[in-house]
Amino acid sequence: MSTFINEALSKKPKYLFRGKDDYLAIFENEAVVKSITPDFIKLASLNCRGVIISAIGDKFDFVSRFFAPQTGINEDPVTGSAHTMLTPYWAKQFDKEDLEAHQLSKRGGKLNCRLASDRVFISGDSIIYFEGTISIV
């Protein structure tokens, strides 16, 4: 599977992990994560929800991108669920519980991540893009 993912990302990660829903590929640095142009057709054929790519950041503890073409989202702008996998990984690498993250999508997003025992807490700024009312009958 690693060869297939390497081809789909056109780069070989330093490490590749399989989580419950996603693959996590760790790269050398932020520049490599920014430079990746994935083959979405290949990624869509994987038997998983998506592929997270990540590295130590230049200005943040870590950076990431998330690709999920098999769910209809080639690249998600900011993915909280991906950070539930990223936070424990990077907390262990840095030996600290509080981390600053940046998702490097076109829109981008900054997240504050905290690992507390077996729980991940994520916060950050957001904007309202939709308002509505739900009626249950």
More confident residue, 126 or 41: 41
Quick check: 137 pLDDT over 90? no
Radius of gyration for the chain, computed over Cα atoms and rounded to the nearest angstrom: 15
Three-state DSSP at 67 gives: strand
pLDDT at 128: 84
pLDDT by residue (tens digit) across 62-115?
999 999 999 999 999 999 999 999 999 999 999 999 999 999 999 999 999 999
Ramachandran region, residue 124 (left: φ > 0; alpha: ψ -120 to 50; beta: rest): left
pTM: 0.90
Query: Residue holding tokens 């998983």?
Result: 48
pLDDT at 15: 97
Q: What is the DSSP letter of 10?
A: T
DSSP run (H or E) holding 41:
helix 40-44
Angle at 83 between CA 80 and CA 87, to 5 degrees: 145
Please give the average per-residue pLDDT across 6-20, as a whole number.
95
> Could you tell me how far CA 121 lies from the centroid of its own chain?
15
Q: Tokens in use for 77?
A: 């702008």
The β-bridge partners of 54 are 26, 64
